[in-house]
Every structure is written in C-alpha cells, then in structure tokens.
Amino acid sequence: MPRKDKQVLLTDITIEAVAAEGKALAHVDGMVLFVQFAVPGDVVNVKAVKKHSYMEGYITELVKPSPYRLEPFCQHFGTCGGCKWQPLPYQMQLDAKTQQVYDQLVRIGHLDVPEVSPCIGSEKTTFYRNKLEFSFSNRRWFDFGESLEGLSDAQKSGLGFHVGRFFDKVLDIEKCWLQPEPSNAIRLYIKKLAIERGLPFYDIRNNTGFLRNMFVRCNSKGQFMVIICFGQENKKQREALLDAVAERFPEIISLYYVINLKKNDSISDQNCILYKGDDAIYEQMEDLRFKIGPKSFYQTNSEQAYKLYSVVRDFAGLNGSETVYDLYTGTGTIAQFVSAKAAKVIGIEYVPEAIEDAWTNVRLNGITNCDFYAGDMKDILTDNFVAAHGCPDVVILDPPRAGIHPDVADVILNANPERIVYVSCNPASQARDLAILQQKYKITDVQPVDMFPHTHHVENVCRLIRK
C-alpha cells in the first residue's frame, strides 16, 4: 500500500460486485472503490487511497461477512497471491468471468456481438495444473509480526512461490492445492534433504547459492517430470540429491537438471540434462499423443484444454476440404487436434523449439497434412506467403496476451478466409483485434472457458464469419 499519510479509513462499506483483476468493488460518495479479497455482500472497513478517479484499498476488518463468503481452503491464502477467489463460490467465479468477457467486448470495446455464452467450468477446481515452478531462497517471506530473532539459516530459507511485488522474497509453501500429489511431497522432501545436507539455498539478490529453482510437470496418468536447477556445479552433492529423489519417488519417470549461471531463472536458453529415466512424459487427447519435454509448452490444465480445443474445432466447422492456418500454433496442439477434419493445416509460431516439438508430435501421431513454420508472425505471414501456400478457408488465432500485430490483421483480411476462430487469454486485446477484423467479419459466437479456477483469468473463444 502507499504512504500512510495518503490513506483513509472507510467504515461499514458494502461490497457490491466482483470487478476486474480479481478485485471487488463498492461505491463511496460516488467514487468507485476496488478492494482485494472481498466478496459481494461483505460489509467491511477498508484502508484506501485515492488514485485519480477511483480508490483502491484493503480490508482491515470484516464487519459482517457476506452470506456467499466461503472459508479459504489454502493456509497460504492472502500471502501467496494466487487463487485469490477462494472465498467466492465457483458459480459466482464463472459468472464473473462471463461478465468480464462481456465488459471487454461490449461495454468497453463497443463490439457487435451475440449473447456471451456462460463460461465453461472446470470439473476440477483444485489439483488441476500439470506444471508448477518453485524457487529456493535463503531469505523467505516473513509474515507481519514473525520474528527473525534466533532463527537458523535453515529456518530463514524457503522453497515455494515468489511473493508479488517482491522479486527477492519467496513464500515457503507447506501445501499447494494446484497440482496433484506427489507434487507437494516431492517439494517438501527436496527441501528436507537440502537442509539436512547443508545445501545452500539461492541468494536472489547476490546471485549465489547451490539450489536455485525447480519445475514439476505431470500427466493424467500420474507420471512426473522433475527439473532441478542449480546455481553452481557441485557434482557430488548434485548427484547425491538427484539419486535420493529418484529412489524416493518412482512416479518421477523423467528427471532432469540444469546448471544455470545467469541472472534469471528462465531455462528456455539453458541446457536441460537428462539424469535418469525417459526424456519426456506424454499426454493423451482423444487418439492423439503429445510429447512433453522439459521446455515444451502445453496447456497447464489438461482437462480444460480438451474442452477449449473442442470449442475451437466446433467453431471451425470443418468438413475435410478446408485449408486451415493455425497462427501462434505453439507446439501445434490445436493444429493436430483439427487436422483430421481438414485437408491441410499450416502452423506458424515464433519459438523454434516449439515448432520442433510440433514436428515431433505429428510424426508420433502419424499426421501427414500439417506443415509448420518458425519465425516472427508479421514477418512470416505475408501476402506472398499466402499466395505460395494457398488462401486459408479457416484461420485459427491463439496469440499471446498482447494480441496480434496490425500487419497480421491486414494479411488475414486480405486472405479473406470464410471463418476465423480467435482464442485469447486476454479479452481486452482480443476486443481491440476484433474491432479491426469486424471490417469484413461478423462475430457469431462467444464462448469463455475457465482454465484457472479461483483466479480472475479467463480464456475466450470467438467465431467470426465473413460478411
């Protein structure tokens, strides 16, 4: 929060609705007030600060809880920064996500759209993720009032998630509700071993220390891949740790390590070295198998990914004769998912390693009608590219949060496909792009999908038909 002299205490404020970015809102003297961790119907006292035309604040006292309010199930709620909507009933979360899509496309974007379909919910609202990253730190996060006096170095160390707004603080996680077991058991065992053996946790400020970060991936069969990243090499200690982890958890069928000497934790430019087991785990979707390596991108909610891709395939309306362009194809999962109902699918992606994964998977699945190209979308997708490879009948878009480049929109408009299916994790940038495409296209369907329960994030799919 800002300086105390700019804060004001607001009392007996009734929370009215769920708002954007995981906050809730109320009105005070005609001004909008955004509040973290509040539920519609709560009566609260709030420490707030004015920011231009609105206020932001945090709850200092829950005067009267809303009849809708649920008890958070995670002991780290409020500090971790994730799963902020735990106090909200799940149906209320889905309604809020549907409303979020409507607000971005219609109220803010002023787009001509049909009724937004209700957000498709996730059967699993906990233990639904197939990938998590944890960080080691020799300076863990301490809650307010928690004393450091008399604590050993081990007691000051933590293994968990970074705390928002503090790059050098890691919240030591006891139990995370995002990934199925033995994810928690693996993390806790590694921390216990490290402390017992005196292995130094990473000093994020000074870029020193042995244990740096780790990734845990799993598939629907309960098979795990673990990648442990070290800030320096010590072969004896490294092998002893990896051997112990492999022996303790037979579920880990793929065990990697990385020696990362640079100043950030990303492993995209690092050498992932297979220590034991298979070089990948595999995920199944209908009759397709997808190979997932240490750097592979795969939707982190596998079951919801299937629902999302099913919506995309339905919206594409393929009959087997079409040429499909799958733009921002990633590892080609959507391209392969729709390929059986298309004559030809062309995928384009910026990341070369992702395209390598796409080629691996099409060979694995015996698919012969997919072709992939790597490079910056605005450089690859040109009018000349379309002329050389054939005009698409259907274009599928699944860009990053920033949306598509204006040059890409121009090429799509020039290519004049019959249908466009636009998948987005950011309805705001999606609305901006749809406004451009509406020159020649009519939005006929809008379908939100919840990939991340207990968060405000939402995936949205729009179908556009040529006018």
Q: Is 275 a member of any domain?
A: yes
Question: Alpha helices, DSSP H only, in 277-340?
Answer: 302-316, 333-339
Question: Alpha helices, DSSP H only, in 294-332?
Answer: 302-316
Using only the alpha carbons of the chain, give its radius of gyration.
Answer: 24
Q: Do 136 and 100 belong to one domain? A: no
Q: Do 105 and 141 belong to one domain? A: no
Q: Do 409 and 267 belong to one domain? A: no
> What total of structural domains would you count in the chain?
3
The residues, ordered by sequence, that sit 6+ positions from 201 with a Cβ below 8 Å of its Cβ are 136, 137, 138, 157, 158, 159, 194, 209, 210, 211
CATH number for the domain harbouring residue 366: 3.40.50.150
pLDDT of 2 reads: 46
Angle 36-37-38 from CA coordinates, rounded to 5°:
95
pLDDT single digits (tens) 201-242: 999 999 999 999 999 999 999 999 999 999 999 999 999 999
Out of 119, 391, 425, 462, the active site residue is 425
Q: Is 83 a member of any domain?
A: no
Beta strands in 22-79 (DSSP E): 24-28, 31-35, 43-51, 54-64
Q: Is 145 a member of any domain?
A: yes
Q: Is 150 a member of any domain?
A: yes
Q: Do 359 and 269 belong to one domain? A: no
Quote the distance between the C-alpha of residue 339 and its chain's center. Answer: 25
pLDDT of 456 reads: 95
Q: Do 227 and 367 belong to one domain? A: no
Residue 430, φ and ψ in degrees, nearest 5:
-60, -45
Residue 65 lies in domain = 4-69
Q: Do 390 and 263 belong to one domain? A: no
pLDDT single digits (tens) 312-328: 999 999 999 999 999 99
CATH number for the domain harbouring residue 187: 2.40.50.1070
Q: Is 443 a member of any domain?
A: yes
pLDDT of 5 reads: 53
Find, among 48, 69, 62, 54, the residue nearest to 12 by Cα.
62
Q: Do 326 and 273 belong to one domain? A: no
Whether 425 is catalytic: yes
pLDDT of 308 reads: 98
Residue numbers of the chain with a pLDDT score lower than 50? 1-2
pTM, entire model: 0.93
Q: Do 460 and 325 belong to one domain? A: yes
Q: Do 104 and 224 belong to one domain? A: no
Q: Do 247 and 332 belong to one domain? A: no
CATH number for the domain harbouring residue 18: 2.40.50.140
3-state secondary structure of 46: strand
Q: Is 222 a member of any domain?
A: yes
Q: Choose one of 53, 69, 85: the last residue of a domain.
A: 69
Q: Do 99 and 247 belong to one domain? A: no
Q: Do 369 and 220 belong to one domain? A: no
Q: Is 290 a member of any domain?
A: no
